[in-house]
Amino acid sequence: MPDEIGVIEPQHTKKWPVWVAVLIVIILAGGWYARGLAVPYFIEKARIALNDEDAVVATKNLNIVLKLDPRNPVAYAYLGHITLGLDNANPESDTPFPSADFVKAIEYYEKALSLGLATAKNRGVYKQSLEFAGYSYWSQKEYDKAVGKYLEQIEQFPDDSFWARYLTASDYFNRSNKPVEALEILTMAPNSLDASKRVFGDVYTLLTRLSSYFGNSLDVKQYATLAIDNAVDKKSTNVQIAYLNIAIQLAKEKNLAKALGEYKKAEAIHKDSSVCTLSNIYFFNSDYIKAIEIAKGKIASTTIFDYPSSTCIEVLARSYLAKNNKIESKKYLEQYMNVTNAFKDKNVYVMRNREAFQKILDDI
């Protein structure tokens, strides 16, 4: 979520005269015109209370608003903010809303949106509501609904959708198998007005992986370097992935010495999950014997496969295909299909491999 939760956009700049309290008496007598004047006043009081992290006062004012105007979308949006826990938010944390009731927040945001929050005078509240509704769905693992909100945010606020772009691209890469759309959406993220430099390293790592998927060697090296330079934690998995992608590109260029040098940097972060990339480095260097040796050693000690370890099976299948050993290649092609079929989520690489391997198996 954003490093800056952000002030809630004022609904007006008008200063309220002292006599506004008199309107309450008129309202209670049924004055619709006065009611229309009073609603923005209490909305403003709620906004100020929210920015002062006073959920109690904000809720009190919003309850008055809803008594006067039961279909006020801004009031429901602010109730969503309160239920999310903006008064107790920790933007720098991986769990920015520790006290959130995401289910209730979603209910309020959906109500606000259904009542026409997407109006010109409520643009700031509209943007926040889309983003926070998306995050609430994401936190509940309702990724399709989260992406739906994020796509609306990107469409309506293309220059102010950093987190929407990053999380949508993450979903497209890791789950929904939309690499083209992921790259298109994510490329603009670092230039967003609401960009969070704290996670630039993560964004550039994902751009590295997408560029590698499409075989854009120069972009891989550029984004990987940016990922490493911008990483807050230089020992993170994302930095490891950046080094591994540089190593693979160098191996494809037959520069084994430099490839192994970059691999060593990744290995220093986490050796076990880097091993299959080492076998891939030797595969791209056409040293199939070495690639097979490393990959077999890894899978022999693996009982539960994940994406990194499944890469060793992929290397074995491709190495034996390169050696024209149909019996062994079929064995590992089938193993790859079986292992990856059990993955709950299949990233774009797995999906592409499965499609290609199935065609090969059909022809063997």
Is the separation of the CB atoms in 216 and 236 below 8 Å?
no
Task: Report yes or no on 252 lying in a domain.
Answer: no
103 in a structural domain? yes
Number of domain units in the chain: 1
Sign of the four-CA dihedral 51, 56, 61, 62: positive
Residue carrying structure tokens 């889309």? 130
What is the tens place of the pLDDT at every residue in 235-267?
Answer: 999 999 999 999 999 999 999 999 999 999 999
The residue behind tokens 């789950």 is 175
Q: How far is it, in rounded angstroms, from Cα 73 to Cα 104? A: 15
CATH of residue 90: 1.25.40.10
3-state secondary structure 278-309: HHHHHHHCCCHHHHHHHHHHHHHCCCCCCHHH
Q: Is residue 166 part of a domain?
A: no
Residue 125: half-sphere exposure toward Cβ, Cα within 13 Å = 30
pLDDT at position 6 = 45
Virtual torsion, Cα 313, 317, 320, 326, nearest 10 deg: 130
pLDDT at 94: 80
Residue whose C-alpha is closest to residue 127's, from 107, 112, 142, 144: 112
Collapsing DSSP to helix, strand or coil, 120 comes out as helix
For residue 153, tell me if it sits in a domain.
yes
Give the pLDDT confidence score for residue 30 in this predicted structure: 52
Is 62 domain-assigned?
yes
> Does residue 243 lie in a domain region?
no
Q: Which residues of the chain have pLDDT under 70?
A: 1-36, 120
Helical residues (DSSP H) of the chain, grouped into ranges: 20-28, 32-51, 55-68, 73-84, 102-114, 123-139, 143-156, 162-171, 179-186, 200-213, 217-230, 237-252, 256-269, 275-284, 288-300, 307-322, 326-341, 348-363
CA distance 59 to 290: 66
Q: Is residue 105 situated within a structural domain?
A: yes
Residue 19: per-residue pLDDT: 47
Domain that holds residue 115: 1-157
